[in-house]
Every structure is written in C-alpha cells, then in structure tokens.
Structure 1
C-alpha cells in the first residue's frame, strides 16, 4: 500500500473513532433534550464561535503549510519554529480580542444568528453563547497546532482531536439533566480548550517549542495574510449559508434547528469519515505534483480521488434517502426525542442526502484548485452557491409548503451546482483531465445504487414483517437490509467494471498478505 494510502486509511480509522464519539454526543443531547427550545439554544450557541472562526482557521491551515515548508527549506528548522510561534501568538491574541468583544455584544450576535428566538429560548441562547465564545482563543491555537502536526505528516492526532471535546460535552449533558441545563456551555468551553491541550504534547514531540514572539512586519506573515484572503472568503460563504439556514429555521416550528442539526450531523459523519480524510492526505501530494508540473499524474490523482468519492458517497446517499425514517428512529428516538422529532429529522435527512455527492466532491475539487495556487475560483463559485442557497431558501420557505425540507433541499441544490461550476472551471484551467471517465463512473454508481435501493427496501419490509417492532428487532432488520444492499451494490460495480474497484481489491489483498 502506498504511503498516501496508508495515511488516508489511518486518518479514516482515527476519524471513525472520533466521529462515533461525536455521534454519541448528538445522541446524548437528543435523548436529554430532544428537539426542544433548550437544544435549539445550545446548538446555536455552539455554532456561533464555530461559524466565526472555522473559516479563518481553515484558511490559516491552508496557507500555513506551504509557507512553513518554504521557511524551513530556505532558513532552517529554527526559523520555521520561530515563524510558527509568530503565527500562533498573533492568532491567539486576535481570537482573545474577538471573544471579549463577543462576550460584551452577545445579545445582538445571538439575535443575528437566530432572529426567531424570544423569551426563555433567547435568554438561554445568550447565556450559553457568552460562556462558549470565551473559548475562541483555544480554537485559534488549535488550528495552528493541527496544521503543524499535518506538515510533520502526523494525521492521526488531528483526527483524534475531537475525542476529549466530545467526552466533556457528553458528561456535561448527562450532569445537566440532574442539575440544570445552564451547565451545558461550561462543558462545551472545557471541551474546546481540551482539544488544544490534547494536541500540544504531540506537537512538542515533533519539535515544537513555544516562545512569546510576535513580529507583525515579518514578510512571511504578510504573505500568509495575502494567501488567506480568498480562501477565507471561499470558506466563509459556506458558513454564511449555515447561518442563513439556521436563522430561517428559527422562524419555523420549535425544534427546526435541532432537526436540521441532527440530520446534518449524519451527513457530516460520512463527510468526515471519508471525504475529509481523502482530501487532507491528497492535498500535499497534489501540491507536489503541481510544483513538479507532472500533469499526467496530477490528472490521474484528480480522477482517482473523484471516482473514489463517487463510489463511496452515492450508495450512502441513496441508502439515507430510502431508509431515513428507520435510521433516525433507531439512532435518536428515545427520551425526549419523540416521533415528531423523528419525522422532522427524517425529512431534513432525505433532502440533505440529495446533495451529499455535491458536498463530497466540492471538498476534493477545492483542494485541487488550492494545489494549483488558485484560490479565487473556489471563492467565486462559493459565492455563487451561497447566493443560490439564500434565494432558494426564501423561495422554498415562503412560496411552497416545504418549510424545513426546503432549507435542506436548497443546500443540496447549491452544492450540486457548485461542483458543476468547479468541474467546468477546472477543465478551462488545465484542459481535459478525465471528466468523461468521472461521468461514466457516476452513471455506473447510480445504476448500482438503484439496484441496491430496490433490494434494500424489499429486504427491509420483508424482515420487518417477520421480526416486528422493538429496538433489537429494528436494529437487526436495518442491519440485514443494509448488508444485502451493500452486497448488491458491490457486485453491481464489479460487473460494470469500475476501475477503482480493482484498486480497492488490490489494497485489501495486500493488507491480507501483510497479515
């Protein structure tokens, strides 16, 4: 197995473990508070610092890695550590300042994110946000540590990073049900800080040594700011779309924000497990191939990454659409999460799943453009997608009866439009890169997923009729149906002679031989 493949598999394993615990956090929240005003307030409070800094953090990570490599190559290890400390300290101070501003102006910030909140829900959201937003400095430092570890080819620790955060939040959710929901933000704050302290020892082991050094006039810091700009805007537009979705959802029936969140978390589980792992590892490789002007290998990497995403995401997307209700019921329906919450979340999941392939390919194609040192194209396409999402949100909610479903569908449509625009832009930039091969794999994957859907539904209804209701019976029914569907899909793409299947089979064989 290649070094890149090993790194991707290792990161997937770490991410799977972290995501499972993260999913446990959502289950704990759903069981304790269901789709209620308290869960809505807590989710909005958790989302505000993430929205404010995720775009900045992602942009910093994207720009930091190539500049660190350049500093180390030209000036040595000592200079690269000095550069890291400079960026680290500047980011920490900026985040601390922003968090203090946020703590002072919490109420207008919350009202901007959730215009429909009133009364006790608004009061809770303000209190929750004021506490959680104090963790902004740790968020900033965390992104720099993640980038440092990745540039040192340590992908596992950043993948495991959410584990302590989720443990603290789960524990606080459980304790809050016995004492007070106002404990929730304190667990989130401690969780945010724990992510940084979890990564720090591993960064030190890789050679990081902290020093209180700041130089705003450093030319590499100036270059970093120049590189961050377009990436920041491109990432920020996705966050703006999230804000708009949640803001409009706050004007709908109670629990709408929670339903969107639970459905989105299911999609994000797939994205984090497969797509983010693939893109995180392939980005350095694409950058190297672009620098070497190895067009053939570069194009081959684009095709392989895109086709792998298609083969993984299409069946999951179709499966989530046809089995949305039983999946949500099995995972969430307990405690305060009732049949109404299951219905709302299932509807959101169905329409989010339509755009799952768009979410997946968008991340991969974005890395392709960054490897080509083109940050403007993803930014422009992202802005167009954001505009489309907002327009569709307004249309679906105000002029149709779709309501919650309309918000999810608008997000999916904008994601699909984005990848179409990115593919067109990429072909114009580098010429033919195998778009026909990607389209062929897409068609074959859809055929296989269609056959899978028919078999899965038939098996599910047949087994359900025999076993009946009950948690264990429903779990067995769902597992058997999904297993049969997976076999049908695997056989279908093998029969249809999808080339990437051979790569997967060869990888498995190689792994078995090693054992």
Structure 2
C-alpha cells in the first residue's frame, strides 16, 4: 500500500501541475475563441488524432508494454533495453506511416468524422485544414507514451506525469503569440491553436527523454517482430487495441451525431469534458498508472493475496478521492464553469450549457477512475481480452442510450450515456475479477 501511495503522491503532484495548466489552456482558449464555428472545427479536427492516440498510446501501450517490460527487467537491463528499443522502433515506423497517411487523406477523414458540418459553408474545409496541422500530434504523443511506460516500469512517476504540462504550455503560448498575427492578416487565429497542440505533443515526448536515459535506457536500432517478447507484447496489445477501437468507433459515431446537434454543441461538450478530466487525471489515472507496475511485479512473484490486498487498497483510494470531488464539481458546476470559461467571447448561455453537461459527466467520474484500476489487474495477469469484452458491452449500452436520449434531451444525451456506460463497464469487470485474484470482500 505504501509503495502505491508514494507513487500516487508523486504522480498526483506532477498531474496537478499539468491539470492546472490545462485549465489555464482552456481559459485562454475560451477567451480567444469562445464557442463558434471555428472551435467546433478545431475540436472535430483534433479529435481525429486523439481517437488514434488511444489506440497507439497511453492505455493500450502501457497495458501491453509494462507487464512484459517488468519481466525483462527482472532478467537483465540489456534484455529490458532490447525490448524497449524494439517497441520504440516499431512505434516510430508504424505510427509514422499512419501519420503520413493521415496528412494525405485529411480531407476525407474530416468529411467522415464531421459530415454534419457540410451543412455550414466553409466549416468542413476548415476542419480538414486543421486536421492536417494537428495530425503529427499522434506520432509525438505515441512516443511520449512509450517514454512514460519506461519511466513507470522503473518506478519513476513524476516526470511522465508532469510532461503534459509542457504540452499545455505550448498550447497556451503559441495561440497567444499568433492570435494577433492571424487577425492582422484577415486569417482565422484558430490555426494558432492547431500549431500549438502539435508542438506541445513534441515537447511532451522530448521532456521525458533525458530521464529515460538517466534510468539506464540505451537505444539500439532493433526491429524484430518475431522476437518472443515482442510477440507477447503484441498478444496483449491487440485485444486492448480492439477494445479501444470499439470505444473510439463509439466516439466517432457520437462525433457524427453531435455534428447534427445545435451549433456549438461539440464545443460545449468539449469544455465540460476538460473540467471532468481534472479529478480523473489527478486521482483515477494516477492510481491506475502507479498500480499497474506494482500489480505486475506481484503477479510475477505469484503473490496472489498481496495482489488482492493492493487492489482493494487502491480501489478504496480511488473512491475516497473521486466521490467527494465529483459531488463538489456537480454542486458548483455553474460558478466553476463561469470562473474558468466565461471571459471574452464565452457568454452566459455557453456557461449554462457547459455546466449542464458537466453535471452529467460527474456521475461517471468515480467509475471511470476505478475502471483503469480494475483493468490493471487483468493487464498484470497478461489478460487483455476480458477488458476488451467488457468494453464492447459498454459501447453497445452507450450507443443505445445516445440514440434513445438524443431526441428528448439533445446534446446532454452524450455525457449522460457516457457516465451510465462506465458503470456497466466496471460492473462487468468486477463480476469477472474473482477469476484472477479470488473472491473480494470490499469493505
């Protein structure tokens, strides 16, 4: 428990810095751009590399990479570095190729993701141009996720948790610096925001590189897809990626559905989602990121009772931190939204819409936070299929609820459905968990 608590403290401090800067970024974004045709286009464009990010980076990569890298670390540093080099080279080549394809086909992608924008002259074209600028973010953030996984395997949590702060710094500084330049020339300053997130993604990776080498990593060009350990990573990665692909397909369908909602709906949901991610990142993601290496070591040492104890302690920690914060955010949703966003071109009507969506998002915060922790137990046992199946069930629930609720409640159907689907997801995984760590008595 102390190992997890210590790691969570370190991760939370770094994440707190990143999240505060993230809120500043959102405040600057709202001040400069408000909610408009341009912000809808930017949110849709940036969603495209972000959808793929979930497949290649962070959850999928860490779930597959950390348990196997932990095994290699137990053998020798050279074996650990060989696997890390193999994964890095693969990411560079595969995600690099996907990025090039994304740049070539940015217009069809924009048409596919936000086809409802075609009803408004110029909106779809703007989305395509912004997609071209933001797509390289995918490669940079995938490499950043590789670096984060290496850090976490070595017990280093602060640097990867604070790395997104550098993304936020450049996401703030670049649009501020370029706003006047674009405005003076009659251009759309939203392009500054697109450039900012791409540069920010690069910095999120680069800031972790010195620490990776300090922890003992030595890169060598190595590409061997027949390597047994690489194949083990892929065996774990593919089910996670398939599950996330289903989830991302759900987001993709939701994006299409939202594009047919009232103007600015996509922007309102995005602003609410950003606030919701503050407690999610500070507590849920922090505990999950720290727990996975810990669970992996205990499973490797065949300490089943200690895995169960560590899991129960971490789950209690998640709910202890997220339930009160969710209640507070829901209760103060309007003044909180007003404080963060209601400046410049962001008006009272926008505040009301965002605060309503935020209340519904907060219903799912404890369950989404706990979900990563529960899934980590399966990943530590090198079982990525169970979380995939649970994800498919929740996807079906989410889509069915969206279609059922869109007409009566409009854009608010989406945050409500997401929260309810997260409850279903974790309920299914908890039901299957005794097969890994025995019967649970959660008291």
Name the larger-Rg structure. 1
Q: Is the 8 A contact 2:95 2:138 kept in 1?
A: yes
Task: Name which of 432, 436, 439 aligns with 1:432.
Answer: 439
2:193 match: 184
RMSD: 1.8
Q: Is the 8 A contact 1:299 1:434 kept in 2?
A: no
Bigger relative contact order, structure 1 or 2 (CA pairs below 8 A, ≥6 apart): 2
1:65 match: 66
Q: Is the 8 A contact 2:70 2:297 kept in 1?
A: no
Task: Say whether residues 1:123 and 2:125 are aligned partners.
Answer: yes
Task: Say whether residues 1:44 and 2:44 are aligned partners.
Answer: yes
C-alpha change, 1:195 and 1:290, in structure 2 (3 Å) is same
CA distance in 2, matches of 1:137, 1:353: 31
Give 3-state SS (helix, strand or coil) of 2:122's partner.
helix
What is the TM-score normalised by the length of structure 1?
0.80
C-alpha change, 1:358 and 1:324, in structure 2 (3 Å) is same
Q: CA deviation at 1:158?
A: 0.3
Task: Say whether residues 1:395 and 2:404 are aligned partners.
Answer: yes
Give 3-state SS (helix, strand or coil) of 1:373's partner.
coil
Q: CA deviation at 1:247?
A: 2.3
Runs of 4+ in structure 1 off by over 6 angstroms are: none
1:506 match: none
C-alpha change, 1:217 and 1:292, in structure 2 (3 Å) is closer
2:137 match: 135
**1:125-155: CA deviation from partner (whole Å, max 9, x where unpaired):** 1111111112333222222111111112111
2:411 match: 404
C-alpha change, 1:287 and 1:134, in structure 2 (3 Å) is closer
1:505 match: none
CA distance in 2, matches of 1:237, 1:350: 26
Equivalent positions of 1:127-166 (< 5 A) are 127-166=129-168
C-alpha change, 1:199 and 1:392, in structure 2 (3 Å) is same
Q: CA deviation at 1:112?
A: 2.1
CA distance in 2, matches of 1:171, 1:416: 38
1:452 match: none
1:479 match: none
Unmatched segments (≥5 aa) in structure 2: 183-188
1:487 match: none
Equivalent positions of 1:299-314 (< 5 A) are 299-314=308-323
Task: Say whether residues 1:25 and 2:32 are aligned partners.
Answer: no
**1:32-79: CA deviation from partner (whole Å, max 9, x where unpaired):** 1111111111122222112112222232222222322333444x3223
Instruction: Pick which of 11-20 and 229-238 moved more.
Output: 229-238
1:369 match: 378
What is the TM-score normalised by the length of structure 2?
0.93
C-alpha change, 1:72 and 1:326, in structure 2 (3 Å) is closer
CA distance in 2, matches of 1:70, 1:291: 7
Q: CA deviation at 1:428?
A: 5.3
